[in-house]
Every structure is written in structure tokens, then in C-alpha cells.
Amino acid sequence: MDPQHMFRKAALEKLSSPERLDVMMQVTSPMGWLALWTIGALLAAIIIWSVVGSISIKVAGKGILIRGGSVLDIATTGTGRITEIEVKPGDDVKDGQLVARVNQSDLLLRIQNVKEEISALSGQGAEQQAAQSRINARYQQQAEELKQKIAVQQEMVAKGLLTKSALMATQQQLTATEQSIAQGEMSSSGRMNRVDDLRRQLRELDNQLTSASEVRSPYTGRVLEVVAAPGDLVSAGQRLVTLEATNEPIKAVIYIPAGEGKKVRPDMPAYISPSTVKAEEYGFMIGEVKAVSDYPMTPEGLEHVLRNPALVSELTGGTAPIEVNASLTPDPTTPSGFRWSSSKGPPVKIFSGTICSATITVETKRPISYVLPILRKTVGIT
């Protein structure tokens, strides 16, 4: 058989010119070059981002939006039974406005006794002596009633049902009554001096009656809660009404676990999300840390701010957190009146008393700072 017919023509031609130096050899396809350039661009972008980019380190906590950073109390100045409550939640009150009335039967009785004693000492003869005897008898009766009252109150204090201040107030009343009994027997020569003393005492009692029977607000604000009702027996210093100062801006009071909260410093950015707003739709309120507590807050300290044990438990989870006060950045162009991280925020107002969550940026790092320690460890550089 002819050898030329045993092989293909193309093979024979290739053997006849084995070098083919005039033909370019294809090493990589166009798709391969595209993939290579894509990977290279991606690596370059990662390297650039690791140098010029940043990663935020944040801590999170829960809190409440509140005016002035804490609520305000209106308390009684004397012991007695409430006869009227003049306000309700949501009412606006002004400084000096009457919010409640408290019956002061003991003070009224003392005032009546002082008036009758003044009248008796100013009179003459048998009528004066008879009036003095009636007064002394009334004082004696009042002293016996006060002694019985003290005995009952001592038992209540021992059981934790009454404050010591209420017991001391009753003891002071007894002392004053016993002094009145002793002075009732004074000689006629000192009668006029006694009348002058009684008149000064009457003026003091009248002022005390006005102060103790009328509970007035020492603040201007809006009523949040009324914690007493007509008929309730109250002691001096007991809280009747809780309100917020309407002339103060809304702040975010945030509670962060102590371990994370110690990283927070004033002027750090804060991002607040009210519970009434969807963060994924409207973003976060922009704020700034203004104050950080030096030590973890005790339950007593938290209740002083919030005046609500259940709310304290909800916000802290039973732990002793760090308290952070953050201001909110105002923005009159948004419906809420505050600046948001995206868009204009929700189309509604934001009110105090709203529960919120918050994140605070405590540090910003370059991504490469995380890589360098790993590289040093890998190559053995210390």
C-alpha cells in the first residue's frame, strides 16, 4: 500500500513543517482572561477597602424617650386623708397650680383650741375660768387620743406599714398638746404674754394648714400618672402625682450592661429606634451621647428616674446597668421633628414615654488592622 494513503493529508503536512513558527500559540481563552481580570479587580478593591474603609464597633441597650432625663414628683407636705384630686393623666399643670386637697382634722382642732384659748384669756371672771376649764379638758382628751394613736403607730412602724416620719409627727403633736395643758394653768399676771404667744402660734398653724391641706405643683409640666385617690390616707412626703417637664427636650435614657457600658464616652454617636417605628422602613433616630454614669445603677436609683418598678425590670433584666443619656438631633423638616438615618423618618410625632432600643458606636477600625496581627503571627513576627 502506498504510504501516502496510510496517513491523513493534514498530518503529513504537519510533519513536513514541524516548527510552524509563523503561527501564534493560544495559551488562555478570552473567558479565562475575563475571569482573571475580575478576580484581580476584586482583590484590588478588597485591599483598597481594607486600607481606607472602616468597621464600626457598637454596643446595644434598651431605654426610654423622656423629657428632661427623668420624671418629676408632686408629694404631700403633711399627713392626712385626700379629699380631692384636681388633675388627671394628660393634663398640663403650671408651677403653683393646685393638684389635690388633704384633710387636716388634727390641725383644724389645734387651731380651734388656740382660738378658744385666746378668747378665754382675753375674757374676765368666772366665764373666763369656765372657758379655760373646757379648753383644758379638750386638751386632756386630745392628749389621751394622741397617746393611743402613738401606740398604734409604733406597732405599724415595727411591721413596716408606716414611716417613722409619720410617728414623729404624731409625737410632736402630743408634745405641743402637753405644753398647752401646762401653760393653761399659768397665773393671770402672765396672761397677756400667753395671748401674744398664742396669736403667733395661730398664725403659724394657719400657714401650716394652708401648706398641708393644699398640694400644689412645684413644676410646670404634663401629668403622667396619678398614684392616689380621694379617701386615701397619706403621710408627709408621699408621692401623689408624676409628671414630665414640657419645657425640656426629649432625651433617650439608655441602659447598657455594665461590661459594655464602660466603653461608652460622651460625644459618641447613638442610633435610637423607638418601639413604635419600624427600623427597616424608616431607619434610626440620630443622637449623641451626652452623659454616662460612673457606676452601675442600683434599683433604687433607676426607680428615682423612671418611677416604675415594672419598667425598671423590663429595661434592665434585673441587672445593674450603666445609664447613658443621649440627645436627639432636631430636624424641623421631618414630621417627627428629629433627624433620621434614612428618608424623613415616620410620618408621625415621637412622644416621650416611648420604649426604644439603641446602638452606640464606641470605636471605628480599619479592616487591615484585623489582618496585620494574623499576618505577624503567621510569619512569626512579634
Q: In this structure, what CATH number is given to the domain that contains residue 333? A: 2.40.30.170
User: Are both 144 and 252 inside the same structural domain?
Assistant: no
**pLDDT, the chain, mean:** 79
User: Are both 305 and 349 inside the same structural domain?
Assistant: yes
Q: Is 0.75 topped by the overall pTM?
A: no
Does residue 234 lie in a domain region?
yes
Closest residue by Cα to residue 287 from 326, 254, 337: 326
User: Are both 353 and 252 inside the same structural domain?
Assistant: yes
| Residues 209 and 111 sit within 8 Å (Cβ to Cβ) | yes
User: Are both 363 and 330 inside the same structural domain?
Assistant: yes
CA distance 96 to 215: 9
Does residue 379 lie in a domain region?
no
Answer whether residue 283 shows pLDDT above 70.
yes
User: Are both 189 and 317 inside the same structural domain?
Assistant: no
Buried residues in 99-114 as b, exposed as e (16+ CB within 10 A)? bbbbbbebbeebbebb
User: Are both 309 and 365 inside the same structural domain?
Assistant: yes
pLDDT value of position 286: 93
Does residue 177 lie in a domain region?
yes
Does residue 31 lie in a domain region?
no
- Taking residues 219-245, report their average pLDDT: 87
pLDDT value of position 100: 92
pLDDT value of position 367: 60
User: Are both 118 and 252 inside the same structural domain?
Assistant: no
Residue 102: its H or E element: strand 98-103
User: Are both 255 and 352 inside the same structural domain?
Assistant: yes
Closest residue by Cα to residue 61 from 282, 236, 321: 321
- Taking residues 5-34, report their average pLDDT: 58
DSSP, collapsed to helix, strand or coil, labels residue 299 as: helix
- Taking residues 68-87, report their average pLDDT: 85
Domain boundary among 196, 229, 244: 244
State the residue for C-alpha cell 496517513.
Answer: 7
State the residue for C-alpha cell 424617650.
Answer: 65
User: Are both 88 and 121 inside the same structural domain?
Assistant: no
Domain boundary among 244, 265, 295: 244
pLDDT value of position 98: 92
> Can you give the residue range of the structural domain that contains 271?
55-69+248-369
- Taking residues 340-360, report their average pLDDT: 87
State the residue for C-alpha cell 443621649.
Answer: 326
User: Are both 262 and 356 inside the same structural domain?
Assistant: yes
Does residue 107 lie in a domain region?
yes
User: Are both 257 and 351 inside the same structural domain?
Assistant: yes
pLDDT value of position 340: 92
Answer whether residue 376 shows pLDDT above 60.
no
| Residues 341 and 273 sit within 8 Å (Cβ to Cβ) | no
How many alpha carbons fall within 13 Å on the CB side of residue 248?
20
Answer whether residue 15 shows pLDDT above 60.
no
Least confident range from 93-102, 133-142, 304-313: namely 304-313
Does residue 27 lie in a domain region?
no
User: Are both 203 and 257 inside the same structural domain?
Assistant: no
How many alpha carbons fall within 13 Å on the CB side of residue 11?
6
Contacts for 381 with CB less than 8 Å, ≥ 6 apart = 375
| Residues 151 and 170 sit within 8 Å (Cβ to Cβ) | no
Does residue 12 lie in a domain region?
no
Answer whether residue 257 shows pLDDT above 70.
yes
Domain count, the chain: 3
pLDDT value of position 266: 92
Does residue 74 lie in a domain region?
no
